[in-house]
């Protein structure tokens, strides 16, 4: 299923750029757009993880630099029967985390400095177990590609806006209508939203369940989610809302209108399910 979603998103990316190129530059624009789309498809598949990590200035850390973090992840990977991912720290106070990569053998887990300071060892185990759940279920590629494509669409929307202001991007025929360009600039962010919503919300519930199992106690993750959600509402996160589907909790709550269409299931429902798991076991 994730292979089909990946193919769909890459095809959608190609179609989007062909349409934009045709609107802004006619046949020449479509040729340029097709070339750019091919490069984006290749880059999204092989380098989307590096793009996501560099976007947040994540720094890879060694076992000597972050011994406790390594100890926790090594314990969890043994329980999950996974290879050890690369570990990164994001220099932001807002607590959050995400996993990325093509597959379990080429994976990475990134945690913010704020999460390392805020969460207890047990809560951090729950969060990291959740991220390893995404790796185990092999949905990290589709999530990272989706965020990369959504970010690209946002960039295209911005480009269209300036094209409308300055009369197009070199297309000199009568079809280069500023009103059409403005409409496209408005529609493009909604396309990004649909890209994000293409990622099934059920994957978060599955990753929560995995995090509870790997850490050994569903309440570890439940308590962590409560803290992360509270801070996400009050502590600004520096980044693009187009990448919200990567994170364990939406870091852009209330930042703009697009946050109404969250890629994450309600945090209250996630916590309730985890607490139900704890009471059952």
Catalytic residue numbers, as ranges: 131
Total residue count of the chain as it appears in this document = 281
Which residue intervals of 137-177 are DSSP H helices? 140-165
- Rounded to whole angstroms, how far apart are CA atoms 120 and 102? 30
Q: Residues with Cβ < 8 Å from 257, sequence gap 6 or more?
A: none
Give the max Cα distance, the chain.
69
Tokens at 58, concatenated = 């994540």
The helix (run of H) or strand (run of E) holding residue 89 is strand 86-90
- Rounded to whole angstroms, how far apart are CA atoms 4 and 12? 12
SS3 of 169-212: the string is: CCCCCCCCCHHHHHHHHHHHHHHHHHHHHCCCCHHHHHHHHHHH
Q: Residues with Cβ < 8 Å from 225, sequence gap 6 or more?
A: 248, 249, 267, 270, 271, 274
């Amino acid at each position: 299923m994730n292979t089909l979603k990946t193919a769909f998103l890459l095809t959608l990316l190609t179609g989007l750029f062909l349409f934009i190129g045709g609107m802004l530059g006619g046949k020449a624009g479509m040729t340029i757009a097709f070339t750019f789309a091919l490069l984006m498809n290749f880059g999204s598949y092989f380098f989307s993880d590096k793009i996501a990590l560099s976007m947040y200035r994540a720094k890879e850390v060694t076992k000597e630099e972050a011994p406790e973090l390594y100890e926790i992840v090594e314990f969890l990977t043994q329980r999950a029967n996974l290879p050890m991912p690369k570990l990164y720290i994001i220099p932001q106070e807002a607590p959050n985390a995400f996993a990325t990569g093509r597959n379990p053998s080429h994976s990475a887990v990134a945690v913010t400095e704020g999460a390392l300071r805020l969460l207890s060892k047990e809560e951090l185990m729950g969060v990291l177990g959740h991220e390893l759940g995404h790796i185990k279920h092999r949905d990290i590629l589709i999530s990272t590609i989706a965020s990369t494509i959504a970010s690209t669409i946002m960039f295209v929307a911005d480009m269209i806006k300036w094209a409308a202001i300055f009369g197009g991007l070199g297309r000199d025929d009568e079809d280069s209508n500023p009103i059409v360009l403005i409409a496209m600039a408005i529609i493009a962010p909604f396309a990004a939203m649909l890209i994000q919503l293409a990622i099934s919300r059920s994957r978060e519930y599955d990753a929560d369940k995995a995090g509870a199992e790997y850490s050994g106690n569903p309440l570890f993750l439940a308590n962590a989610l409560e803290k992360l959600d509270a801070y996400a509402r009050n502590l600004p996160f520096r980044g693009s809302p187009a990448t919200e589907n990567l994170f364990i909790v939406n870091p852009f709550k209330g930042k703009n209108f697009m946050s109404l269409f969250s890629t994450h299931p309600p945090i209250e429902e996630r916590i309730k399910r985890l607490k139900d798991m704890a009471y059952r076991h």
